């Protein structure tokens, strides 16, 4: 019995992509990977900031059609999430590169990235529906924004302090063990499934932080930049889990204050209410 388990474990390790179980990337490969990440993230931020300048922080979808919203949403996700997901992406892509080359390598990498973006596209559809609903409520009942903001901050705080956050944050903070587990996936569309699987964990880790864009404004550049820093630090800093819990407490405090302090809710306040 012990021999069979040992054999199975050895087989699983043997099937792992090269570089997955081998620790950190070499310094040169790591530097090149981070340069590529910067080359993608910086233009994404430039496009996001440029688009946000003409929109401001207003309730709802700000008149955007769904295709435009999804395009901007994915650009925002590239800007905000790419640095924090880099350890997993770099390591898995390196494994793909060692196992394949040419067209196969390209297709596998596209599958991995596509799986990750597929998850965030689904989240974007949900975000559009939520923004359309909250925007309609604020249009019809301007004072409703106070209570929507309070409930949103409450949900964000509970998520930050809840078990789902802990599970997903552990996954994102310990990518090596997860990548070895991914090596056990079936070969058929494995890279797509890895992208979807990791994307789902990423959503579970960041959901509480992302929903605060409803009261703060989905195109609020300052809020997006702050959240991007928080996401990066939570995942990569040794005290990231402590930061997550601290933010959870802050969100609960904001949930109490929001109904009485509308300045906390730029994304739920009508332009005509700025002076009130």
Compare 173 and 123 and report the one with higher pLDDT: 123
Name the residue with higher pLDDT: 222 or 41.
Answer: 222
Pairwise pLDDT comparison (17 vs 173), residue with the higher score: 173
Please tell me the least confidently modeled range out of 6-15, 106-115, 208-217: 6-15
d(CA 117, CA 119): 5
In percent, the amount of the chain with pLDDT more than 70 equals 76
Comparing 158 with 220, the larger pLDDT belongs to 158
Query: In the prediction, which pLDDT does 160 show?
Result: 95
- Pick the more confident residue, 67 or 180: 67
Residue 20 pLDDT greater than 60, yes or no: no
pLDDT at 88 over 80: no
Q: Say which residues have a Cβ less than 8 Å from residue 36's Cβ, sequence separation at least 6.
A: none
Summarize the confidence of residues 79-89 as an average pLDDT: 76
* CA dist., res. 254 & res. 259, Å (int): 9
Residue among 134, 139, 154 nearest 212 (CA): 154
Assess whether pLDDT exceeds 60 at residue 2. Answer: no
pLDDT computed for residue 16 by the predictor = 43
How far apart (Å, rounded) are the C-alpha atoms in residues 169 and 240?
A: 9
Looking at residue 223, what is its pLDDT? 87
User: What average pLDDT does this structure show over 150-163?
Assistant: 95
Residue 33: per-residue pLDDT: 58
Mean pLDDT of the chain: 78
Kindly state the average pLDDT of the residues 256-267: 89
Confidence of residue 124 (pLDDT cuts 50, 70, 90): very high
Q: Which three-class secondary structure string do you get for the chain?
A: CHHHHHHHHHHHHHHCCCCCCCCCCCHHHHHHHHHHHHHHHHHHHHHHHHHHHCCCCCCCCCCCCHHHHHHHHHHHHHHHHHHHHHHHHHHHHHHHHHHCCHHHHHHHHHHHHHHHHHHHHHHHHHHHHHHHHHHHHHHHCCCHHHHHHHHHHHHHHHHHHCHHHHHHHHHHHCHHHHHHHHCCCCCCCHHHHHHHHHHHHHHHHHHHHHCCHHHHCCCCHHHHHHHHHHHHHHHHCCCHHHHHHHHHHHHHHHHHHCCCCHHHCHHHCCHHHCCC
- Residue 247 has a pLDDT of 94
Q: Which carries the bigger pLDDT value, residue 86 or residue 244? A: 244
Mean of the pLDDT values across residues 198-216?
Answer: 91
pTM given for the model: 0.78
């Amino acid at each position: 019995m012990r021999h069979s388990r040992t054999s199975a474990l050895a087989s699983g390790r043997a099937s792992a992509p090269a570089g997955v179980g081998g620790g950190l990337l070499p310094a040169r490969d790591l530097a090149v990977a981070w340069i590529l990440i910067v080359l993608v993230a910086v233009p994404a931020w430039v496009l996001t900031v440029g688009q946000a300048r003409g929109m401001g922080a207003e309730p709802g979808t700000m008149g955007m059609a769904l295709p435009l919203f999804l395009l901007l949403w994915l650009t925002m996700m590239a800007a905000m999430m790419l640095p924090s997901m880099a350890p997993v992406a770099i390591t898995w892509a390196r494994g793909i590169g060692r196992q394949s080359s040419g067209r196969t390598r390209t297709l596998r990498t596209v599958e991995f990235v596509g799986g990750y973006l597929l998850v965030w596209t689904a989240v974007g559809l949900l975000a559009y529906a939520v923004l359309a609903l909250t925007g309609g409520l604020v249009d019809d009942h301007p004072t409703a924004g106070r209570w929507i903001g309070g409930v949103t901050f409450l949900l964000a705080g509970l998520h930050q302090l809840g078990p789902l956050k802990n599970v997903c944050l552990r996954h994102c903070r310990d990518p090596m063990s997860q990548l070895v587990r991914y090596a056990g996936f079936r070969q058929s569309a494995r890279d797509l499934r890895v992208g979807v699987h990791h994307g789902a964990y990423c959503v579970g880790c960041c959901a509480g932080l992302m929903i605060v864009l409803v009261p703060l404004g989905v195109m609020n550049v300052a809020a997006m930049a702050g959240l991007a820093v928080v996401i990066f630090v939570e995942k990569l800093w040794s005290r990231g889990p402590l930061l997550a819990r601290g933010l959870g407490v802050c969100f609960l405090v904001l949930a109490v204050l929001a109904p009485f302090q509308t300045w906390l809710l730029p994304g739920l306040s009508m332009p005509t209410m700025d002076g009130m």
